[in-house]
Amino acid sequence: MTERRFAIEVEDLTLAYQDKPVLWDIDLHVPEGILMAIVGPNGAGKTTLIKTILGLLKPAAGRITIYGKPFVAQRKLVAYVPQRGSVDWDFPTNVLDVVMMGRYGRLGWVKWPGREDRELAMEALRKVGMANFAHRQISQLSGGQQQRTFLARALVQDAQIYFMDEPFQGVDATTERAIIQLLKELRAAGKTVVVVHHDLQTVSEYFDWVTLLNVRRIASGPVSQVFTEENLRLTYGGKVAFLSKTAVSQSTPDTLQPASSGG
Amino acid sequence: MELLNSLLFDYTLRTVALGAATLGIVSGALGSFAVLRRQSLLGDAMSHAALPGVVIAFMLTGSKTPVILLVGAAVAGWLGALLMNGVVRNTRIKEDSALGIILSVFFGFGLMLLTFLQRNPDARQAGLNSFLFGQAATLLISDVIPMAILGTIVLLLVLIFWKEFKLLSFDRDFAASLGYPVAWLDVVLTSLLVLAIVVGLQAVGVVLMSAMVVAPAAAARQWTDRLGVMVFLAALFGAIAGVGGAMISSLGSGLSTGPVVVLVVSGIVLLSLLFAPNRGLVWNWVRQQRDRRKLRLQSVLTNMYYLAEQHDDMAHPHAVTVLQAMNFGQGGVRRSLHVLRERGLVQESSSGFWALTAEGVEEARQLIDSRRAGKGGDR
Ligand SMILES: Nc1ncnc2c1ncn2[C@@H]1O[C@H](COP(=O)(O)OP(=O)(O)OP(=O)(O)O)[C@@H](O)[C@H]1O
Ligand SMILES: [Mg+2]
């Protein structure tokens, strides 16, 4: 087996909004070809971390590389699925048009998408099971359909690394399974997928790598090694009753019980 | 008719109409992007902010040539937008408050300068007041030509960067992740908006120009779900409002153009809110009524089917009163029956007793089947 390359490397990353630190001294080494979850409570800085890696926010300090080079030089290797709520779904456009936006990065300035882009977009829509919705107004989509539209848009970017901010938010079980199937196909094709995830129950089932984040990086590594009760407690504080079942048990798992469920 | 006549043969009126159409088209098109980017207030702030620019340009040059005054307006409007961006970025003041601050400070300053000028016994500033509420009648062909050139450039730029502006307006973060310089694109789009506003200032005035930015776009949004069509319609509505307003105000003596334009454009907005298909209120009401009637018909039909099934005789007649009881609270059973009879689905076998026809049985069966097959398909 050849030595694994790092798809994403983050060193000493610190970012603050005004005077409030949101990410503190983050180190991250993500090997190629894995499915990684980023978990952490609301406001932990998950979205901020992704946006910083994508160059949307300027860090106070730190270094970020994609396959050994700065992000700016590697932009075409990266696809992005923003949090669904980050756009206005009443915008006057249709599903196909949104998906084609994923091609704009390759098209460059001024050039208009052509037939090939349209076909790629249709292909992506078929993959996410939305082919029949190509000409549907985006204001008439359900939450799960919006999510799938965004996913298709990322697919046509034809990237090596995919960043997805809560792709399972507000989708039903069937859609969730379809999406995870898609992510696994991407992984099988050698892509790296980074997913902000909220459901701790499914982490071990879906992902092979996990980063626990709460302003600081609590832990990052293979799920079997770092998704432990101890680390979860460090990430979420005390309120994690249901974790004893889901976390990988390392030591005696029955000392933890506070009532409410976090997340 | 007389209006059309003068429009065709009166040189002055034609000039005014041309200028008004230009300003309407440009502000409508750019206003669409402003509205979609939730920047309607920005347009308002920038048009008000242009006033001191007009006055200062006059004080510096002593000239009332509109082109010079409008350069002043553009600089001031642009400065206002820039300053606002700075305030939002570097302080904790939120965008809406920043807009309010810029608007009132610049506009107040402009008014102060105007008053100051008026107290001096220099009659030359007389025309400046028309920049407050607009005077389309003052447009000369030498004003309209630069307006048209500027407007064409603005529209061409929108066309060239169409894809980029669309992406920027829909999903700014995604655009940035693709490598588009979004901050720079913001500046370009905002500058184009400033130019669109400047084009209209002389005719519509700083106080009401923002209506020409927001209203045509808002009206156009009602009629379509496609960006291209929306921008086109907004330009059209803008042109109608501009020309209409300019004509009416030029014919009436001394009427300011701004208020008349706003009246016309408000009419367009009102019509659009009421009558646009899909989004219009009237349309919605009609559709609701239609849906309700259709549902009522279907429920009468299927109820008759269920009743007949119990009698093992599909042609068994039922009393209206029974059907009314089954459709309790929905009313209109008698009317539904008559509609169904027109379609040949039911017949009145004796007074007050109704039975399904063979076709009615078929129709009802299909309805029930499709309901069982499940809420399948979309919608
Ligand atoms: N534009 C902003 N200005 C100031 N503070 C911000 C801004 N955006 C985010 N924050 C703060 O930064 C922190 C991290 O936010 P972030 O959106 O990264 O959290 P998250 O982990 O994605 O949360 P969630 O699970 O709710 O999506 C939060 O405390 C938030 O209040
Ligand atoms: Mg988030």
Instruction: Name the packing angle between helices B257-275 and B281-310 (round to 10°).
Output: 10
Residue A48 Cα to ligand 1 midpoint, Å, equals 6
Q: Check whether residue B191 and residue B53 sit in a common domain.
A: yes
List CB contacts (< 8 A) between A82 and chain B: 171, 173-174
Per-residue pLDDT at A251 exceeds 50:
no
Residue in this structure with the two tokens 């008026």, named with its chain if needed: B118
- Whether A40 is in the pocket of ligand 1, judged by its Cβ within 6 Å, is yes
Per-residue pLDDT at B116 exceeds 90:
no
Q: Check whether residue B144 and residue B54 sit in a common domain.
A: yes
Q: How far is A75 from chain B (nearest CA, A)?
A: 7
Of B259, B277, B295, which residue is a domain's last?
Answer: B277
Q: Answer with the residue of higher pLDDT: B330 or A219.
A: A219
Sequence-ordered list of residues with C-beta below 8 angstroms from that of A92, at least 6 positions apart, any chain: B36, B221, B224, B225, B226, B227, B229, B230
Q: Check whether residue B272 and residue B310 sit in a common domain.
A: no
Q: Which of A46, A195, A236 to mutate for ligand 1's pocket (most ligand atoms within 8 Å of CB)?
A: A46
The pLDDT confidence band at residue A257, using thresholds 50, 70 and 90, is very low
Q: Check whether residue B138 and residue B42 sit in a common domain.
A: yes
What is d(CA B212, CA B161) in angstroms, rounded to the nearest whole number? Answer: 23
Per-residue pLDDT at B134 exceeds 60:
yes
- Contact between chains at A56 and B166 (C-beta distance less than 8 A): no
User: Given the DSSP bridges, would you call strands A78-81 and A161-165 parallel, antiparallel or unpaired?
Assistant: parallel
Q: Could you tell me which chain B residue has the CA closest to the CA of A76?
A: B178
Mean per-residue pLDDT, B93-97: 87
Q: Check whether residue B17 and residue B35 sit in a common domain.
A: yes
Give the pLDDT confidence score for residue A254 in this predicted structure: 41
Mean per-residue pLDDT, B139-155: 91
The pLDDT confidence band at residue B282, using thresholds 50, 70 and 90, is confident
Q: Which domain holds residue B121?
A: 2-277
The pLDDT confidence band at residue B126, using thresholds 50, 70 and 90, is low
Choose among A32, A92, A41, A69: nearest CA to A216.
Answer: A41
The interface pTM score, or ipTM, of the predicted complex is: 0.89
Q: What percent of chain A has pLDDT over 90?
A: 74
Q: Which residues are paired to A9 by β-bridges?
A: A29, A65
Choose among B161, B51, B71: nearest CA to B114.
Answer: B51
Query: Is residue B127 within 8 Å of B140, Cβ to Cβ?
Result: no
What is d(CA A151, CA A125) in angstroms, rounded to the nearest whole number? Answer: 9
Nearest CB to A110; choose among B160, B178, B179: B160
Of B262, B277, B292, which residue is a domain's last?
Answer: B277
The domain that contains B109 carries what CATH number?
1.10.3470.10
Q: Tens digit of pLDDT for each residue in A212-232?
A: 999 999 999 999 999 998 899
Q: Check whether residue B145 and residue B23 sit in a common domain.
A: yes
Mean per-residue pLDDT, B33-43: 91
Q: Whose CA is nearest to atom 6 of ligand 1?
A: A17
Q: Check whether residue B229 and residue B295 sit in a common domain.
A: no
CA R_g for chain B: 30
Q: Tens digit of pLDDT for each residue in B238-249?
A: 999 999 988 888
Give the pLDDT confidence score for residue A240 in this predicted structure: 61
Mean per-residue pLDDT, A9-19: 91
Nearest CB to A104; choose among B163, B224, B378: B163
Mean per-residue pLDDT, B317-323: 82
Q: How many domains is chain B built from?
A: 2
Q: Check whether residue B149 and residue B216 sit in a common domain.
A: yes
The pLDDT confidence band at residue A150, using thresholds 50, 70 and 90, is very high
Q: Check whether residue B129 and residue B12 sit in a common domain.
A: yes
Give the pLDDT confidence score for residue B314 in this predicted structure: 77
Q: Check whether residue B192 and residue B62 sit in a common domain.
A: yes
Per-residue pLDDT at B43 exceeds 70:
yes
Q: What is the mean pLDDT of chain A?
A: 88
Q: Could you tell me which chain A residue has the CA closest to the CA of B167?
A: A101
Give the pLDDT confidence score for residue B310 in this predicted structure: 82
Residue A17 Cα to ligand 1 midpoint, Å, equals 9
Q: Could you tell me which chain A residue has the CA closest to the CA of B162?
A: A110
- Whether A86 is in the pocket of ligand 1, judged by its Cβ within 6 Å, is no
Of B247, B277, B307, which residue is a domain's last?
Answer: B277
Q: Which of A20, A22, A26, A56 to mutate for ligand 1's pocket (most ligand atoms within 8 Å of CB)?
A: A22
List CB contacts (< 8 A) between B230 and chain A: 92
The pLDDT confidence band at residue B316, using thresholds 50, 70 and 90, is confident
C-alpha dist (Å) from residue A42 to A85, A165, A236, B154: 15, 13, 10, 44
Per-residue pLDDT at B354 exceeds 80:
yes
The pLDDT confidence band at residue A259, using thresholds 50, 70 and 90, is very low
Q: What is the token pair recorded at A88?
A: 């206005």
Q: Tens digit of pLDDT for each residue in B63-86?
A: 888 888 899 999 999 999 889 888
Per-residue pLDDT at B254 exceeds 80:
no
User: Given the DSSP bridges, would you call strands A35-39 and A209-214 parallel, antiparallel or unpaired?
Assistant: parallel
Q: What is the mean pLDDT of chain B?
A: 87
Per-residue pLDDT at A248 exceeds 60:
no
List CB contacts (< 8 A) between A113 and chain B: 163
Mean per-residue pLDDT, A231-236: 90
Sequence-ordered list of residues with C-beta below 8 angstroms from that of A204, at least 6 positions apart, any chain: A223, A224, A227, A246, A248
- Whether A22 is in the pocket of ligand 1, judged by its Cβ within 6 Å, is yes
- Contact between chains at A132 and B92 (C-beta distance less than 8 A): no
Give the pLDDT confidence score for residue A245 in this predicted structure: 52
The pLDDT confidence band at residue A103, using thresholds 50, 70 and 90, is very high
Q: Whose CA is nearest to atom 18 of ligand 1?
A: A45
Q: Check whether residue B97 and residue B153 sit in a common domain.
A: yes
Mean per-residue pLDDT, B170-176: 95
Out of A159-163, B42-46, B326-330, least confident range: B326-330
The pLDDT confidence band at residue B330, using thresholds 50, 70 and 90, is low
Residue A27 Cα to ligand 1 midpoint, Å, equals 19
The domain that contains B370 carries what CATH number?
1.10.10.10
Q: Check whether residue B197 and residue B226 sit in a common domain.
A: yes
- Contact between chains at A87 and B164 (C-beta distance less than 8 A): no
Q: Whose CA is nearest to atom 30 of ligand 1?
A: A43
Per-residue pLDDT at B300 exceeds 90:
no
Out of A42-46, A195-199, B15-19, least confident range: B15-19
